[in-house]
Amino acid sequence: MALMTLAQAREDFFAAMETLRSSKVRSALTVLGIVIGVSSVISMAAIIQGLNKFVQDRVEALGSRTTLSRDFRLARILPAGRKAFAPQVF
């Protein structure tokens, strides 16, 4: 793998600058797209962090002696014609 010489790097830099100068609208739209993309990622990260903090504060406000439980029933795969959730007596 050959290293790029200073003259080649300078030539590539000037070629890139010439391309940017020749297509200003495309360059501006590219920069605008990058700015919008980065700002949307930063905004979403901030919103998620804020929601996490909100939920954490609400859970901490419940206290250490409060427990939450929820009954989740999973449907079983049954043969055709049978009901998945038959009434159960506890």
- CA–CA separation, 9 vs 39, rounded Å? 31
pLDDT tens digits for range 62-90: 877 777 677 666 655 656 666 656 555 55
DSSP secondary structure of 2-71: PPPPHHHHHHHHHHHHHHHHH-HHHHHHHHHHHHHHHHHHHHHHHHHHHHHHHHHHHHHHH-TT------
Does the model's pTM come out above 0.75? no
- CA–CA separation, 74 vs 21, rounded Å? 63
Look at residue 36 in the predicted model and tell me its pLDDT.
Answer: 98
